[in-house]
Structure 1
Amino acid sequence: MHHSSQHFDQHMNLHTSLKQNIQNIKETLGDSSDIVIRNIKIGENECVEIGVVYIKGLVDTEAAQNFIMESLMLDIKGTTLESLLSSKCILETIKNSILTVTDIKDVQDFEMLFDKILSGYIIILVNGFAQGFTVGLPGYEKRNVSEPSSEGVVRGPREGFTESLHTNITLIRRKIKHPHLWLESKKIGRMTKTDIAIMYIHGIVNEDILKELKSRLDKIDVDSILEGGYIEELIQDETYTPFPTVYHTERPDVVAAALLEGRVAIIIDGTPFVLVVPALFSQFYQSAEDYYQRADFATCMRFLRILSFFIALLAPSLYIAITTYHQEMLPTPLLYSLAAQREGVPFPAFIEALSMEITLEILREAGIRMPTAVGSAVSIVGALVVGQAAVEAGLVAPAMVIVVSITAIASFAFSSFHMAISIRMLRFVFMLLAASLGLFGITVGIIALVLHLCRLQSFGVPYMSPFAPLLLSDQKDTLIRVPQNMLVSRPQSIVHKNKIRKQSPDYPDSKQPE
């Protein structure tokens, strides 16, 4: 008797006939060649028939042989069992007395059965019973914990997340050994059924943010989630902006620090990037290393990053504006020098800058996409050779090459790659404003940018806090970083309860609220 696969696909319960169940499993999975189905008979006169089903490659085969097959076939020679085999409680016996594995659950319908078998579980079915067990012995290949490639530090932990959800959760748990570090799991994606975990510290987390995040995750209804970027795009606030409002990181120490500030982490199976919400503007200019170096050094580095933000955003546009419209701002010797350089250049400064910037972007993209062995050669050699040749051919002034190079280097100075992308896009807008309206255009652009940034929110938290709205207590860890013994309170913009990090003799009111 053949069922069409649609017939029992969803919520249909298992049959009592083992043969029928196996037939249904085969049909639904298209009789794929990596399904392993093993029938065994146990008991004195082979009265009990058991089917073991799993998918090759998702399961630890050795463990399956040692802990399931061996237990079922060899360990049941006892006479007590013979009497039980004839009775109704054979399922209970197998579950409670025979199998030596920890992760066992009952399965009664096909929906759960397929969900488990495709997630790397072993299914055990017994003839005559309309239910079975799922046993968890996952054994797929995964990458070892290695150093994160996207966020380098000189001093600090060298371990980064991997593509395995459980490894990533373990890395965070090793940093925060507190019973209030809570974890909630979900599956998202109709086809991929990707495992997703939400992590937060109960008692510190902002409940409104948590509730908002859960409701946004529940609304997601898509076929597939293949990487954290899918989730990031689906849960971010509904505003058109080049700026990222969800933070992602490859470093467990950064996630642990974010959780302790009352944020929520979203871990997605299959990607080494963990999302953190809410994300504020100031967060993208901080590096994990700021907290491992001395406070004065960390503060200097932060100012350096903010300076490089302005250079990356405005250097080409300021050059265009001043050389095109405001030559009187330059000292006379410099003006003569620039004029002499530009003498043979046929293009206006804007076209010159635009062509150089676009060339640079192409080189950068090519460097990323090329095979690793040649990637670095393309970006460095390419930039030098093209720049040098352009100057000698008289197409570009040497000063312009310097400006473009400094801009490119400055955009690599801050730790967050996805903030650098936003700056690269906005740079072209500012160049256009400078070419058309000079310094006035740049000023208008900056005002519009500040207004736009102040309008943004990330999960209900103003994007520019603690600058706008101004929170004085949070200034201790934004532009500057005060010494550790003064970092007493958590960020006020995020946390509304349990604000004090530690008891400090200098702050009499810092006792931890119970």
Structure 2
Amino acid sequence: MSTINSSLEMNEAYLREQFNHCYDIVLRSFKLRDETVLLLVYLDGMTRMQSIEDNVLKPLIFNGLPQGIDRLQTLSEMFRREWLPLSNVKTDDSLEDLVNHILQGSLGILVEGEASALIAQIQDYETRSIEEPKKESTLRGSKEGFVENIQTNTSLIRRRIIHPHLKMESQTIGKYTQTEVVLTYVKGLADEKVLSEVRDKLRKIELDGVIDSAYIEEWLENSSFSIFPQIQNTERPDIVTASLLEGKVALITNGTPFALILPITLWSGLQSADDYFERFVFVILTRLIRYVMTFISFALPAVYVALSTFHPEMIPSDLMIGIATARESSPFPTFIEVFIMMFIFDALQEAGVHLPNQLGPVVSIIGALVIGQAAVEAGIISTPIIIVISLTGIASYTIPRYSATLPFRIIRYLILFITGLLGFVGFAFGIIFLLINLVMLESFGTPYLSPVAPFDGKRIKDLVIRYPFWIKNGRNKKGRQR
């Protein structure tokens, strides 16, 4: 590692070599009244020019080094004694560190005859203001969401947990991006084994760059090839706060509004923030509806194929006659019909996600209506198939987190294929294999199906029935400890 030389000319030559063909890097030298030569280095567009002029240039050019009774010999001493109105100033004797700080928006100050540099953190660049998260909107609760600036995101958590046990450990990941990642937890609540495992995995990450927290997520997962996510992502600081108070760990990445939460379970993706903002009586009903709809979202097409193809005797005769009449002109088996409509539905959904906001809903709705109506009139698809796929799609939309819907979309196809071959026997095998996979899966030492398997009576009370907070905290309404 190269150290800063006392010769300003050599230091400037090194910096000009490093920043060759970098038009936005500014190297500006000037002399003080006592002939002291200074070199300012900063990144145009990421530093506050007004702060440089008011707090550095004007005091030094017009006043120079203060020469009172106690004579100042170095500029470093001047900053140490706080003669210049700049906060958060430090010294560094490494040229590599100086280059990194400059690229992050800090001001570097080099002085002739001094073998160290002053680094003033006066970053200033355009950032997005705090807005309501569009991906996780709620009817009640905070309307603040994370942004791309990591300092803003950590402050949103600090404002909610005002306690010294809230810890934030910073680490830089990415050879070229030098992305800052902050490990956040509450000391005394977080599991030390989980913290140790996360720290160890973060140290082993070797990437050229980290563009989003998803890059880190894939490195941290215990079972990379599992279709179920083992880490939750969220834009909401209130969800991160609640998770930290439950003893979980959060990772905040600079440049992305999505924080990571771990460990999680299957039920984490099926719970909404509104579950804790609405009265507990109504939450019981909405959670039951959500869990039933989650099962319907991946099982209904397979169940329809099994009933209409392999076990028609289980369907009431009048209904079976209606289904047979509707399918009379269809040239494909039921399995093929269901697969075609599922594939078209997922394609329309994907198109709606990636199209501009003004076109996405229009294409999805019109595409579904036009294709569905035309397919039925042409006799390619029967009417009951349209009903089954529509209900399946509605059921999938009841899952509050988008990342939690993706595994069930894959499972829907897998169970459909095995059911199309073996009927309800295949459906039963598919459900059994699914449960075996979920039981074997873990998220940083936490069983994925907990508190159901293994059973935990204390934690299961928040699975379906959201108890009042005064019961969850072990107190009655009068505040007496139970």
Identity %: 36
Decide which of 218, 230, 239 is 1:254's aligned counterpart.
239
1:8 maps to what in 2? none
Paired letter, 1:70? K
Alpha-carbon distance between aligned partners in 1 of 2:388 and 2:57, rounded to the nearest angstrom: 70
1:42-441 correspondence to structure 2 within 5 Å: 42-44=32-34, 46=35, 48-76=36-64, 78-80=66-68, 84=71, 87=73, 89-441=74-426
Alpha-carbon distance between aligned partners in 1 of 2:322 and 2:242, rounded to the nearest angstrom: 51
2:20 is the alignment partner of 1:35: no
Paired letter, 2:175? R
Contact 1:239 1:456 in 2 (8 A): no
Decide which of 4, 13, 23 is 2:3's aligned counterpart.
13
Contact 1:148 1:251 in 2 (8 A): yes
Contact 1:363 1:383 in 2 (8 A): yes
Contact 2:297 2:395 in 1 (8 A): yes
2:455 maps to what in 1? 470
Unmatched runs of 5 consecutive residues or more in structure 2:
none
**Distance apart, 1:201 and its partner CA:** 0.5
SS in 1 for 2:359: helix
Give the number of equivalent residue pairs: 482
> Deviations along 1:331-364, whole A, 9 cap, x unmatched?
0110110010000000001111111111111111
Contact 1:71 1:100 in 2 (8 A): no
Paired letter, 1:291? Y
**Distance apart, 1:239 and its partner CA:** 4.8
Contact 2:46 2:125 in 1 (8 A): yes
Contact 1:71 1:98 in 2 (8 A): no
Change in Cα spacing, 1:506 to 1:141, as seen in structure 2 (3 Å) is closer
Paired letter, 1:34? D
**Distance apart, 1:80 and its partner CA:** 2.1
**Distance apart, 1:178 and its partner CA:** 1.2
1:483 maps to what in 2? 468
Which portions of structure 1, spanning 4 or more consecutive aligned residues, are displaced by more than 4 angstroms? 502-509
**Distance apart, 1:439 and its partner CA:** 0.8
- TM-score of the aligned structures, taking structure 2 as reference length: 0.97
**Distance apart, 1:79 and its partner CA:** 4.2
Unmatched runs of 5 consecutive residues or more in structure 1:
1-10, 490-501, 510-514
Decide which of 13, 20, 23 is 1:23's aligned counterpart.
13
Alpha-carbon distance between aligned partners in 1 of 2:368 and 2:276, rounded to the nearest angstrom: 35
**Distance apart, 1:94 and its partner CA:** 4.0
> Deviations along 1:183-210, whole A, 9 cap, x unmatched?
1000001111100001111111111111
Question: What is the aligned-residue RMSD (CA, Å)?
Answer: 1.6
Change in Cα spacing, 1:97 to 1:434, as seen in structure 2 (3 Å) is closer
SS in 1 for 2:131: coil
Alpha-carbon distance between aligned partners in 1 of 2:325 and 2:335, rounded to the nearest angstrom: 18
Paired letter, 2:123? P
Change in Cα spacing, 1:503 to 1:200, as seen in structure 2 (3 Å) is farther
Alpha-carbon distance between aligned partners in 1 of 2:62 and 2:181, rounded to the nearest angstrom: 39
SS in 2 for 1:335: helix
> Deviations along 1:256-308, whole A, 9 cap, x unmatched?
00000000010000110000010111111111111111111111111111111
**Distance apart, 1:95 and its partner CA:** 3.8
Alpha-carbon distance between aligned partners in 2 of 1:80 and 1:286, rounded to the nearest angstrom: 66
SS in 2 for 1:84: coil
Change in Cα spacing, 1:239 to 1:229, as seen in structure 2 (3 Å) is closer
Alpha-carbon distance between aligned partners in 2 of 1:485 and 1:91, rounded to the nearest angstrom: 57
> Deviations along 1:425-475, whole A, 9 cap, x unmatched?
110001101110111111110011001000000001111110000000111
